[in-house]
Structures are given as C-alpha cells and as structure tokens.
Amino acid sequence: MTAMADKVKVRIFSTNTITSVTVSFDLGQYNVYANDSVLLESTLGEGASLTLKPSGGKVSIASDGYNYGIFEKIRFQATDTACILCINPSNVKQRTYEGNLIVTATKQNSLLLINEVEFETYIAGVVQSEIYGDLTDIFRVQAIISRTWALKNINKHQKDGYNFCDHVHCQAYHNRCVRPDIMLGTMQSSGVTIVDNEGHLIETPFHSNSGGQTANSEDVWRNALPYLRSVEDTFSFRMRQSDWTKVLSKDQWLGYFAKKHKINTEDAAVRDSLLSFTQVRRKARIMGVPLTRIRTDFQLKSTFFSVVYDTVSGKVTLRGHGYGHGVGLSQEGTIRMAQLGIAYDSIIRHYYSGARLNSNPDSPKNYVENYIQQIEKIIEDDKQRTTQVKSKKDDWLGRLFRVRDREEREEIYDESKQDNETDWQFKFGDADTTATIKQAVPLER
C-alpha cells in the first residue's frame, strides 16, 4: 500500500529563534491575509518586501516605515504555482521557498514560520538539502526514500499545527529546489515509495556513510525490522565520510567506563579488553555498554570504531569508519553505486533487504512524463548558454510551472507567448500512519 499527499506544512527555521524577518517577493504575486481577512491584494510582486516581528504573542507587520497593525496570524498566499518568497530573518542566512507562508508568534515571543507547499516540491527541497552529487539517479533514490518517510510520518507534528520541521528531527529542508537535475530525479520517481511484503510503507532511515557495513536496526534502536538488516557496503569506502579518528587519554577512556558504567577497570583483563577493542564487523556493545551510548557521550561520528592504545604516549585512538547511525541507506554508498552505473532500484534493494518499490496508480503518467521532458529540455537549454547571466525572471522553475499551468488548463503551450516574468536522527514509534491509504501496483522490472 502507499499513501497520498497534496500539500504539506513545514516549519522552517525550526532550530532558530526568529525575532524579526523580512519577507520579499522573488517571483509571482502574493495576497497577504491578516487573521484570515485580506490585508493586501496581489500588489505584492518582485521587489516588494514586508517586515514581521513578534509583539505580545501576536505578529506586527510593516513596510517602509508604515505599520499595518498587529495580528494573531499573517498568511502570504501565492496567486499561482510560480511564486517564490525570499525569507530573511535578522539573525539567520536568508532562504527562498515556493508556495505559501504562515507566520504566528510563540509564547516565547519569537516567530513561528510555516511553509505550505506542494508535497513533491517539498520532496525536491529535501533532496537538495540531504544529499550531494551530479547524477540524476542519486536524487531519484533520495526522493524515493524521503517520500516514503514523509508519507509514513505525515502527522509527526500534528499537535504542533504542521506536518514536519525542517531539521534532522524530520528531514532537512533548507531551501527550495534550485537545481533542475534534482527536480528531474524527483519527478522521475513521482508516486514511487518503498513497501514491505504486505504492501505497507517501510521505515527508511538513512545516514551519511556506513563505513563499509550497515547496522541492524535493533543494534541502534529497539525494533528489529526485517528490511533493516546489516549488509556489506564496500561502496561506502574512500568517500568523504569514510574514516575518522578521535584521540583520548587513557584515563579519559578507562575513567568513562569506571565512573559512568561502574566497570572494574582495575581488573587487568577488563582493562586489556577496553584498550584493544576491535570491530572488523559491526558490534552492538563493548563490555555490555551500548556503542550508541558511547557515540553520544563522546560525540563520535559513528559506532563503528576500534581502539588503538599507544603504551608510550598513553593515548587512546578511536579509529572509526562512517558517519551516522549506520541503519538503512548509506548516502555516500548510494553516490558511489550510481557512479558505477548501478540502477536506482538495485541501490534501494541493496540497503533495504527484501523491500519492494511500488508506484501509486493515481500518479498521472502522461503528465509526469511530459513534465520530465520539459525539465530535460530546460537542462539542455541551460547547457547551451552557460556564459549567459540569468535573472530571477528567467528562473527555470518559473518557466516550468508556466508550462504546467497551461497544460492543466488544457491549453496548447506556445513558448513565444510565455509571460515576461520569467546526524541523521531517527526514532521508531513516532510515526503516525493515518494518511489516506490507496492501492499500489508494483513497478515493471
């Protein structure tokens, strides 16, 4: 089975305290609503900006020295699909987002910013924030696992009034997608999710680099899941996050086990075990202590490490592999597999044992295929004019949405008539899987 979503609400700048934000308009026009009543009507286009601040649990809104008032809620409503907002907090680097923006104040007298956006547009933004690379299949894989996670956890922040936050508590979402190749990979996987043998959406945790072997889910969290089994992963070797070291004193290392875990480090056999601990294959514990606990306490990149003790210097070196919890998909392993020409579906099956790819039957195949063709054309066009400076009016996404808008209205698109506006945190048990369930069909293989 697979689930469907239309628009989602994402809290942006969720880890920051926002005491002032300037909202400007990069593309398209917006209406502004205050307490659900119209404040400003579609006069806000490129170049206009408004400043919002918390004020006694409400939001003040002003522009060029003129204060429009103080309200419970401010909503920026896009007038069409090709609308882009630039959001510039006073203390954080600015970002741009598509769709709508809802602004309220918290009890701590800061601003809460929620981006209401089309689901697949959100997924493309997640892919851009979560993985690097230059091959479409890399983005295709990330889109599928991010879509699956999002649909399974669609109500994770329901009690807070939104679906997701933009940090690793959910998935990173730190800007709108600005790369057509990432949007291409997302659209090529439109409607595709990962399910188990019973057709249920699976958990799809991922991490930066496995270090050469992924971890069993029960070695990191509580649940043992059949599709989250430890697998050999040589594809993660010799990548950015493949290896790491951390140097400690002997007293730091042994003292940690003695004081925090009440282990008798005066015993020679115990001491030797702690100073010569090795992992050729992943282990879950050392002297009964969970490696996940050690990773947290020493702020290590992974639990996949061995101990090297230098008797001369008295230093203990932790020689580690990988970055992240190690369960599920290795992103750098994915990048390497794609570089070797391994197909996206084989990559997914490598990391999620026995899982199946399903395509939602409600995804409009002809529409998606045409959408993909338009993105490919834009990518090729851009390759031919690499030296040309493009303005915001020539934004690829704006061009693409104008194509789609006309197709949705069943008009024939005439390009000559187009408008001038041109780590890795994861917890089981948090998911609310009450999203609408619809029958899925296997992809052709």
What is the pLDDT confidence band of residue 6, given thresholds at 50, 70 and 90?
Answer: confident
pLDDT greater than 50 at residue 236:
yes
Segment 371-395 mean pLDDT: 67
Instruction: Tell whether 267 is covered by a domain.
Output: yes
Tell me what pLDDT residue 300 has: 97
Segment 379-389 mean pLDDT: 70
Higher pLDDT, 61 or 360: 61
Tell me what pLDDT residue 357 has: 95
pLDDT greater than 70 at residue 64:
yes
Instruction: Tell whether 68 is covered by a domain.
Output: yes
Instruction: Tell whether 219 is covered by a domain.
Output: no
Instruction: Tell whether 207 is covered by a domain.
Output: no
| Bridge pairing between strands 37-44 and 49-55 | unpaired
Higher pLDDT, 317 or 49: 317
Structural contact between residues 144 and 193, judged by C-beta atoms closer than 8 angstroms = yes
DSSP letters of 71-82? Answer: ES-EEEEESSSS
Structural contact between residues 330 and 209, judged by C-beta atoms closer than 8 angstroms = yes
Higher pLDDT, 307 or 408: 307
Instruction: Tell whether 75 is covered by a domain.
Output: yes
Tell me what pLDDT residue 410 has: 43
DSSP letters of 336-386? Answer: HHHHTT--HHHHHHHHSTT-EEEE-TTS-HHHHHHHHHHHHHHHHHHHTTT
pLDDT greater than 80 at residue 364:
no
pLDDT greater than 50 at residue 442:
no
Instruction: Tell whether 263 is covered by a domain.
Output: yes
Tell me what pLDDT residue 435 has: 36
What is the pLDDT confidence band of residue 382, given thresholds at 50, 70 and 90?
Answer: confident
Tell me what pLDDT residue 247 has: 97
Tell me what pLDDT residue 392 has: 46
pLDDT greater than 60 at residue 215:
yes
Tell me what pLDDT residue 287 has: 95
Domain that holds residue 308: 243-321
Instruction: Tell whether 317 is covered by a domain.
Output: yes
**Percent with pLDDT over 70 in the chain:** 81
Query: How many domains is the chain partitioned into structurally?
Result: 2
Instruction: Give dist(CA 244, CA 233) in Å, integer.
Output: 17
What is the pLDDT confidence band of residue 434, given thresholds at 50, 70 and 90?
Answer: very low
Segment 43-71 mean pLDDT: 89
pLDDT greater than 90 at residue 285:
yes
pLDDT greater than 60 at residue 426:
no
Tell me what pLDDT residue 395 has: 57
Higher pLDDT, 172 or 1: 172
Segment 376-393 mean pLDDT: 67
pLDDT greater than 60 at residue 201:
yes
pLDDT greater than 50 at residue 21:
yes
Picking from 59, 93, 109, the residue at the C-terminal end of a domain is 109
pTM: 0.83
Tell me what pLDDT residue 80 has: 77
Instruction: Tell whether 370 is covered by a domain.
Output: no
Tell me what pLDDT residue 181 has: 86
Picking from 109, 135, 167, the residue at the C-terminal end of a domain is 109
Tell me what pLDDT residue 278 has: 97
pLDDT greater than 60 at residue 63:
yes
Tell me what pLDDT residue 403 has: 53
pLDDT, the chain, mean: 85
Picking from 51, 81, 109, the residue at the C-terminal end of a domain is 109
Instruction: List C-alpha distances in Å: 258 to 209, 254, 262, 277, 369.
Output: 31, 6, 5, 16, 62
Tell me what pLDDT residue 401 has: 56
Q: Convert the pLDDT of each residue in 115-141 to its tens digit.
A: 999 998 999 999 999 999 989 999 999
Nearest to 418 by CA among 410, 429, 406: 406
DSSP state of 281: S
Instruction: Give dist(CA 117, CA 7) in Å, integer.
Output: 5
pLDDT greater than 50 at residue 411:
no
Instruction: Give dist(CA 271, CA 257) in Å, integer.
Output: 10
